Every structure is written in structure tokens, then in C-alpha cells.
């Protein structure tokens, strides 16, 4: 993740970053490109715990479907084992 600054409207520059899902996350607004560039340099060279929290939330959101998939795969394996056992009992 990298901070950038954009001209968000005439006479206004906004420092921020794009979240992994593409959503713009503004950090601060400035009256000039020079002010925005200075702030961009500050935030790029420091750790922003709020940004880390947003990134962690995004990672948690990404892990949830993977966990559901793993549980579903385990359920399928259990059903297959039950089916094989039932077939063995029926044929045996």
C-alpha cells in the first residue's frame, strides 16, 4: 500500500491510499500540491496504525471465505466417508 495525492477538486489536493478492494481512503486535504506532497512524504515514511487496522480488517474479510471453504471441504469428506461406509455395509 502506498499513499498518493490527487487533485480531488479545483484548488484541493487529497492525500490518501486505495484499499485492496479499490476503495479510496482519504487521509487529509490540502490547499496546494506542495502541501499535499509534503504530507504524502510524511505518511509514506511513518507507520499509520489506523491504516494498518484497515488493512487487517481487509485481510480478515479475505480469510473468512477461505475458512468457509475449508469447513465445506471437510463436510464433503465426512459425507464421502459415510457414503463409502454405507456402500460397504450394503454390499458386504
Alpha-carbon dihedral sign for residues 45, 32, 26, 8: negative
Q: Domain residues of the chain, as ranges?
A: 1-46, 48-92
SS3 label, residue 27 = strand
Rounded to the nearest integer, the mean pLDDT of the chain is: 79
Q: Quick check: 31 and 15 in contact, CB under 8 A?
A: no
Q: What is the pTM of this model?
A: 0.48
The grid coordinates listed for 85 are: 461406509
Q: What is the pLDDT of residues 1-35, one digit of tens each?
A: 688 889 999 999 999 989 888 899 999 999 999 99
Amino acid at each position: 500500500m502506498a499513499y498518493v495525492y490527487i487533485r480531488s477538486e479545483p484548488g484541493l489536493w487529497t492525500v490518501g491510499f486505495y484499499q485492496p478492494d479499490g476503495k479510496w481512503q482519504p487521509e487529509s486535504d490540502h490547499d496546494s500540491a506542495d502541501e499535499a506532497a509534503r504530507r504524502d512524504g510524511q505518511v509514506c515514511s511513518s507507520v499509520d496504525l489506523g491504516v494498518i487496522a484497515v488493512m487487517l480488517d481487509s485481510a480478515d474479510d479475505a480469510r473468512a471465505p477461505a475458512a468457509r471453504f475449508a469447513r465445506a471441504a471437510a463436510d464433503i469428506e465426512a459425507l464421502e466417508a459415510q457414503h463409502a461406509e454405507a456402500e460397504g455395509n450394503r454390499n458386504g
